């Protein structure tokens, strides 16, 4: 974050003082998707330098985690990337489960895949709507938010919450999904591919939209790797890497899906890669529905997983375990773990250090938007000022996960 006394963060280079100018964009700017401040050095309308100023949403969430029990951290994870909540839950739960060496029942794993993909659709729909709106195609926003609403209703059905789900817990899921949940998901994904056609009808043939994206924001594969870019922007730069396929977790290895790649490296490539990813997510959800195993959604670990409400009212042990978990937490073996997953925006990673007590010694969250923002200057340098808006839209950042 910048100086509070108003000191300039960017000075025009000596020798260019007559030509260049420093202007400010944000932190309250609708196209910055949150509170991002960009300090731009421009030569006429051409970008010379970009200096992103972040930290306006910094809440010290990693410090907060150190004062909580392991299970109390789950609701905090929702609030980091609030557009893709279930991926955050999933990544944290997988990391702690690795430390605990917990066996997760197959149904919980498949439900996690299904929910992570729904969450990815949710994230991509917001990206598509806001990206198109930044470019000036206002209508698409209304269409994508219509489908997003359907997804949020599905989240509400399982978790009781639309956005801050906290549904994926350490050891499985917080509870059984409602009886009609899978039918509702089936109904949603049956109609969803047509909706993607609707978006592409509105955008792909739109000459203005096409010209604003094609050839804009070029990011080579070398730059993308050097700057730590992950997810759809990396794959749109021609790097064939997806953690779901290459380092599978939560039984992703049992699903068949394609990883879309583009070698065009521009904003249009990122648009196309994400659209194909949405279609692939529908395929994964269909496979999860078709092969959904029977059984429990919680691991058999009474000292770690909260018991069902009914058991608490009838069984003494369940009540004791519940009391113990809520008041004392559970000890996690000492060690350090890094778990990465492929979330909607790219690679999310949790690095957890345990000292053997019931509270994490250190939780570090690696979120994809943070390194991706570094690539902004590379993509915009030498381009027009208006392209900055298109590029920010195409890399799909969330400031909550940058500032943490």
Task: Determine the 3-state secondary structure of 167 from DSSP.
Answer: coil
226 contacts another protein (rule: CB under 8 A) = yes
Binder among 351, 357, 358, 385 for another protein (CB under 8 A): 351
Binder among 239, 261, 289, 296 for another protein (CB under 8 A): 239
Strand partners, 40: 23, 50
**CB 340 → another protein: shortest distance, Å?**
7
Task: Determine the 3-state secondary structure of 59 from DSSP.
Answer: coil
What is the per-residue burial (b if ≥16 Cβ within 10 Å, else e) of 382-397? ebeeebbbbbbbbbbb
**CB 101 → another protein: shortest distance, Å?**
8
262 contacts another protein (rule: CB under 8 A) = no
CB 61 within 8 A of CB 404: yes
Binder among 30, 44, 193, 335 for another protein (CB under 8 A): 335
- By C-beta, is 177 or 349 nearer to another protein? 349
CB 373 within 8 A of CB 54: yes
d(CA 357, CA 331): 5
d(CA 94, CA 110): 14
CB 271 within 8 A of CB 131: yes
371 contacts another protein (rule: CB under 8 A) = yes
**CB 317 → another protein: shortest distance, Å?**
30
Cβ neighbours for 314, distance < 8 A, ≥ 6 positions apart:
none
Size of the site for another protein (CB under 8 A): 45
Cβ neighbours for 149, distance < 8 A, ≥ 6 positions apart:
none
**CB 246 → another protein: shortest distance, Å?**
5
First to last CA, the chain: 13
Binder among 60, 136, 160, 293 for another protein (CB under 8 A): 60
20 contacts another protein (rule: CB under 8 A) = no
Question: Of 330, 332, 303, 331, whose CA–CA distance to 318 is shortest?
Answer: 303
Task: Determine the 3-state secondary structure of 199 from DSSP.
Answer: helix
247 contacts another protein (rule: CB under 8 A) = yes
- By C-beta, is 58 or 146 nearer to another protein? 58
356 contacts another protein (rule: CB under 8 A) = no
- The conformation of residue 298, written as its DSSP 8-state character, comes to B
Binder among 17, 63, 153, 324 for another protein (CB under 8 A): 63
366 contacts another protein (rule: CB under 8 A) = yes
55 contacts another protein (rule: CB under 8 A) = yes
**CB 121 → another protein: shortest distance, Å?**
26
**CB 12 → another protein: shortest distance, Å?**
16
d(CA 358, CA 67): 10
Binder among 25, 227, 285, 332 for another protein (CB under 8 A): 227
384 contacts another protein (rule: CB under 8 A) = no
Binder among 254, 370, 384, 385 for another protein (CB under 8 A): 370
Distances (CA, A) of 176 to 117, 159, 169, 301: 18, 10, 12, 16
Residues in the chain: 404
Distance of CA 253 to the CA centre of its chain: 21
- By C-beta, is 321 or 366 nearer to another protein? 366
Q: Which tokens sit at 110? A: 């498949």
Binder among 105, 129, 217, 340 for another protein (CB under 8 A): 340
- Which residues contact another protein by CB under 8 A? 1-5, 7, 54-55, 58, 60, 62-64, 66-67, 98-99, 225-229, 239, 241, 246-247, 335-338, 340, 347, 349, 351, 353, 361-362, 364, 366, 370-371, 373-374, 403-404
């Amino acid at each position: 974050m910048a100086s509070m006394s108003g000191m300039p963060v960017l000075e025009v280079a000596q020798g260019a003082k007559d030509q260049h100018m420093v202007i400010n964009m944000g932190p309250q700017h609708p196209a910055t998707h949150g509170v991002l401040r960009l300090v731009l050095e421009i030569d006429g309308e051409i970008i010379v330098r970009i200096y992103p100023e972040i930290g306006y949403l910094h809440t010290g969430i990693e410090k907060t985690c150190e004062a909580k029990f392991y299970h109390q951290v789950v609701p905090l994870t929702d609030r980091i990337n609030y557009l893709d909540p279930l991926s955050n839950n999933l990544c944290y739960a997988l990391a702690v489960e690795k430390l605990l060496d917990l066996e997760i029942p197959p149904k919980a794993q498949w439900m996690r895949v299904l929910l992570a993909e729904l969450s990815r659709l949710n994230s991509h729909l917001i990206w598509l709507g806001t990206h198109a709106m930044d470019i000036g195609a206002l209508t698409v926003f209304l269409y994508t938010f219509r489908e997003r609403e359907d997804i949020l209703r599905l989240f509400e059905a399982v978790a009781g919450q639309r956005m801050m789900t906290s549904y994926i817990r350490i050891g499985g899921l917080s509870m059984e999904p409602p009886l009609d949940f899978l039918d509702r998901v089936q109904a949603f994904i049956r109609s969803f591919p047509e909706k993607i056609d609707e978006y592409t009808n509105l955008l792909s043939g739109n000459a203005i939209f096409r010209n604003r994206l094609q050839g804009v924001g070029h990011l080579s594969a070398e730059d993308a790797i050097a700057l730590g870019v992950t997810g759809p922007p990396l794959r749109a730069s021609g790097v064939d890497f997806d953690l779901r396929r290459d380092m599978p977790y939560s039984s992703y290895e049992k699903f068949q899906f394609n990883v879309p790649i583009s070698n065009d490296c521009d904003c249009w490539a990122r648009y196309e890669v994400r659209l194909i990813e949405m279609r692939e997510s529908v395929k994964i959800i269909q496979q999860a529905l078709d092969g959904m195993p029977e059984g429990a959604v919680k691991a058999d670990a009474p000292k770690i997983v909260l018991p069902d409400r009914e058991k608490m009212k009838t069984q003494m042990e369940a009540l004791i375990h519940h009391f113990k978990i809520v008041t004392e937490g559970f000890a996690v073996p000492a060690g350090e773990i890094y778990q990465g997953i492929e979330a909607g925006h790219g690679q999310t990673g949790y690095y957890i250090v345990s000292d053997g007590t019931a509270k994490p010694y250190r939780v570090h969250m690696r979120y994809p938007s943070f390194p991706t923002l570094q690539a902004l200057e590379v993509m915009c340098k030498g381009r027009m000022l208006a392209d900055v808006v298109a590029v920010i839209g195409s890399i799909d950042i969330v400031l909550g996960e940058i500032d943490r």
